[in-house]
Chains A and B, each alone.
Chain A
Amino acid sequence: MRKKCKNLNKLLILVVLFAVILSLNASFVEAGGCENAFMRCVDDPISSISMVGGVVCIIGYVFCKKYIER
Chain B
Amino acid sequence: MRKRKICMGVLFLAVLFCSRLQFILAEEVRQVSLEEVLSIGNLDDNILFQWAGVAVDSQNYIYVTDAMDYCLKKFDCQGNLQKKIGRKGQGPGEFLAPRLLDCSRAYIYVTDQYVPGFQVFNKDLKFQHRIPLRMFINDFKVISDSEIAVAAVTSDQTCRILVLNTKGEVIRKFHYSEKKSSLMMNWIDFDFDSRKNLYIAYNFQDKIVKFDPQGKKLWSHSLMKMKHVKKKKIGSFIVPCEIVYKDIAVDSTGKVYVLSGEFSKNPSRDVYVLDPEGKQKAALTLPEGSHCIYIDGSDFLYSRAGDGITLKKYRIIDSERQAESMNK
Q: Chain A interface (Cβ within 8 Å of chain B)? A: 26-29, 31-32, 35, 38-39, 42-43, 51-56, 58-63, 65-67, 69-70
- Chain A to chain B contacts (Cβ below 8 Å), 18 pairs: A27-B228, A28-B232, A31-B232, A35-B234, A42-B235, A42-B237, A43-B235, A53-B155, A55-B136, A55-B153, A56-B113, A58-B184, A59-B138, A66-B292, A67-B52, A67-B291, A70-B262, A70-B267
Report B-chain residues with C-beta under 8 Å of the C-beta of A27. 228, 230-231
B interface vs A, CB < 8 Å?
52, 99, 113-114, 116, 136, 138, 153, 155, 183-184, 187, 203, 228, 230-237, 239, 241, 243, 246-247, 261-262, 267-268, 289, 291-292, 308
Nearest CB on B from A63, distance (A): 7
The A interface, classified by DSSP as helix, strand, loop or mixed, is: helix
Question: Which one of A28, A54, A63 contacts B237 once the chains associate, using CB atoms below 8 Å?
Answer: A54
CA distance A44 to B226 in the complex (A): 35
Asked whether B243 lies within 8 Å of A65 as measured between CB atoms, the reply is yes
Taking CB atoms, residues of chain A closer than 8 Å to B113 are: 56, 59-60, 63
CB-based contact B243/A69 at 8 Å? yes
Number of A-B contacts (CB under 8 A): 77
Name the 6 nearest CB pairs between A and B, nearest first: A66-B291, A67-B291, A70-B268, A70-B289, A29-B230, A65-B243
A18 to B208, CA, bound (A): 34
Q: Give chain B residues whose Cβ lies under 8 Å from the Cβ of A69.
A: 243, 262
Q: How far, in whole Å, are A53 and B183 apart by their CA atoms in the complex?
A: 13
